[in-house]
Amino acid sequence: MTSSIEPEAISAPGKVFLAGGYLVLDRKYTALVFGLDARIHVCIEPIQTKSGVTLHEIIVRSPQFNEAVWEYGYRLTEGNGGVSVTQLRASHDSSLNRNPFIETTLAYALTYISTHLAQPQPQIHPSSISILASSSYYSNPGTAPTPTSQFLNFDVKLSEAHKTGLGSSAALVTSFTAALLSHYLPRDVFDIEKDASLAVLHNLAQTAHCAAQGKVGSGFDIASAVYGSCLYRRFSPSLLEKHGEPGSIDFSSNLRALVDGEVQWDTEIRKAAIKMPPGLRLLMCDVDCGSETPGMVTKVLAWRKQKPEEADPIWDELQAGNEELAKELTKLAESGNQGAQDGHGRIRELFVKNRKLIRQMSKASGVPIEPREQTLLLDACSKVAGVIGGVVPGAGGYDAVVLLIEDKPDVIADLKELLKDWKVEQDSEDAVKIGNVGMLGVREDMVGVRREDPVKYRDWVHK
């Protein structure tokens, strides 16, 4: 056997905005992002080969879904172009089932890894990678293969899975990148328990994620996947304009400079600025009806550009409300006073104020950020004893809503009772039909990316 490298396993959290959904697109403003305990897990192990046999192949599987296997060949390109990744066909007449997030992340991570290995021919051994997702990322019903299984078998193709909007692509890119770096680089070069390595992971995952999306996003979802809950200010989009693409001249050295911080990142990630008070928690309710986020964002930004005198005061007020919400939560957490009803009262007021501003933005832009159906749902939930407030997170629309509640079984029981037969009467102006509303089994997670024990994935990795 040629390799004695041990398997590695890494997980990264999903995310939810408690405040700052549209503000995060502009560097003048910040967003309050919570990590969630719904995680994407990646387990990587070497493919054992017989002596004298050389493979340049990486196999990626998502065993919870049907036909979710991707095989890639890889090679070092000329002109300092980094590592080129090519998806392999199972047979000549089979079609390629492309996954841009996996393929792009692989090319970026292997290129970065190659710059740290012996030159001129860095040895990247073949490996097998398994990806597993917490069930809360999907609203599809699933079955547990064993009574103790942490993961569900969804028995559909990945393209047929219904996402709940918790940030699966960012959690995937982050955990996938971290697993590759942890597996192929020595611990003294990359160790996710060290701050310098987390900065490398953040920069590389941001770069790969934007490339896979085909656009430079705000990056809040990668930041929370790496660092966990935080107050976030985006990086300047121009940072990611000049490094080129895998295979292009000098891509390898450009990427290394970008990732290692020779190119200055101006993002701001403040973990200490946000804490969850004892006795409180986040809870999410999945609304069975989704929104097209990119289209909504485009329309809101167009409105802001056309009518800054209308939009900017709303943005500024929301920013003040977001910062105060983070401050109040952290102050309450540090006081350790679980019964601080006056603290809850101020937080409750901030939720009401912020939602009012979001509805103003909704009306002025003509975009359903907090649509009538979600207003009725949030108002009803907010009347349940122990519910402090809630919002339609992120870009808004008809996705899941997030609530801040007292962490007590009777509060959850009362909410379940309310949601059990929840219906919104249709009106003639709105053709959107809200389906069932159910609770997602998630809560906040202050921790970002972390190392896991590969043993707990054994049943899935070798099935």
How many angstroms separate the CA atoms of 214 and 226, rounded?
A: 21
Place of tokens 């379940």: 416
* 190: Cα within 13 Å, side-chain hemisphere: 26
Contacts of 162 by beta carbon, 8 Å cutoff, 6+ apart: 138, 139, 140, 290
On whether the CB atoms of residues 221 and 215 are closer than 8 A, the answer is no
Are residues 111 and 187 located together in one domain of the fold?
yes
CATH code of residue 237:
3.30.230.10
Are residues 259 and 285 located together in one domain of the fold?
no
Tell me, what amino acid is at 45?
Answer: E
How many angstroms separate the CA atoms of 442 and 405, rounded?
A: 13
Q: Domain range for residue 401? A: 280-440
On whether the CB atoms of residues 256 and 109 are closer than 8 A, the answer is no
Q: Could you give phi then psi for residue 317, rounded to 5 degrees?
A: -65, -40
Sheet of 280-287: strands edge to edge? 387-391, 401-406, 280-287, 437-440
Q: Reduce the DSSP state of residue 461 to 3 states and report it.
A: helix
Domain membership of residue 74 (yes or no) is yes
Are residues 218 and 145 located together in one domain of the fold?
yes
Are residues 241 and 123 located together in one domain of the fold?
yes
Are residues 329 and 395 located together in one domain of the fold?
yes
Domain membership of residue 197 (yes or no) is yes
Domain membership of residue 2 (yes or no) is no
Reported in sequence order, the residue ranges of 210-249 that DSSP labels E, i.e. its strands, are: 230-233
Domain membership of residue 337 (yes or no) is yes
**Count of C-beta atoms within a 10 Å radius of residue 426:** 12
Are residues 339 and 381 located together in one domain of the fold?
yes
CATH code of residue 298:
3.30.70.890
Distance of CA 131 to the CA centre of its chain: 15
Are residues 263 and 310 located together in one domain of the fold?
no
Domain count, the chain: 2
Domain membership of residue 1 (yes or no) is no
Are residues 259 and 118 located together in one domain of the fold?
yes
Structure tokens at 32: 């309050």
Q: Could you give phi then psi for residue 5, rounded to 5 degrees?
A: -70, 135
Domain membership of residue 3 (yes or no) is no
Task: State the Cα angle at 145 between 141 and 151, rounded to 5°.
Answer: 65
Residue-level pLDDT at 292: 58
Residue-level pLDDT at 3: 37
Q: If DSSP states are collapsed to H, E and C, what string results for 320-373? A: HHHHHHHHHHHHHHHHCCCCCHHHHHHHHHHHHHHHHHHHHHHHHHCCCCCCHH
Task: State the Cα angle at 69 between 166 and 450, rounded to 5°.
Answer: 45
> What is the DSSP code (8-state) at residue 76?
E
**Burial (Cβ within 10 Å: 0-12, 13-18, ≥19) of residue 58:** buried
Domain membership of residue 206 (yes or no) is yes
Q: Reduce the DSSP state of residue 152 to 3 states and report it.
A: coil
How many angstroms separate the CA atoms of 269 and 16, rounded?
A: 15
Domain membership of residue 79 (yes or no) is yes
Prediction pTM value? 0.92
Q: Which of 161, 176, 178 is nearest to 130 (CA)?
A: 176
**Count of C-beta atoms within a 10 Å radius of residue 372:** 15
Are residues 58 and 152 located together in one domain of the fold?
yes
Q: Reduce the DSSP state of residue 3 to 3 states and report it.
A: coil
Are residues 37 and 144 located together in one domain of the fold?
yes
Residue-by-residue pLDDT tens, the chain, 463 positions: 333 478 999 999 999 988 888 999 999 999 999 999 999 999 999 987 766 556 689 999 999 999 999 999 999 999 999 999 999 976 566 667 889 999 999 999 999 999 998 776 678 999 999 999 999 898 888 999 888 888 999 999 998 888 888 889 999 999 999 999 999 999 999 999 999 999 999 999 999 999 999 999 899 999 999 999 999 999 999 999 889 999 999 999 999 999 998 999 999 999 988 999 999 999 998 876 655 566 888 999 999 999 999 999 999 999 999 999 999 999 999 886 655 555 589 999 999 999 999 999 999 999 999 998 899 999 999 999 999 999 998 888 887 899 999 999 999 999 999 998 887 665 535 555 566 788 888 999 999 999 999 999 988 987 6
Dihedral sign from CA coordinates of 363, 368, 372, 375: negative
Are residues 54 and 179 located together in one domain of the fold?
yes
Are residues 258 and 387 located together in one domain of the fold?
no
How many angstroms separate the CA atoms of 457 and 230, rounded?
A: 29
**What are the residues facing 138 on neighbouring strands?**
163
Tell me, what amino acid is at 431?
Answer: A
Contacts of 75 by beta carbon, 8 Å cutoff, 6+ apart: 56, 83, 84
Residue-level pLDDT at 106: 98
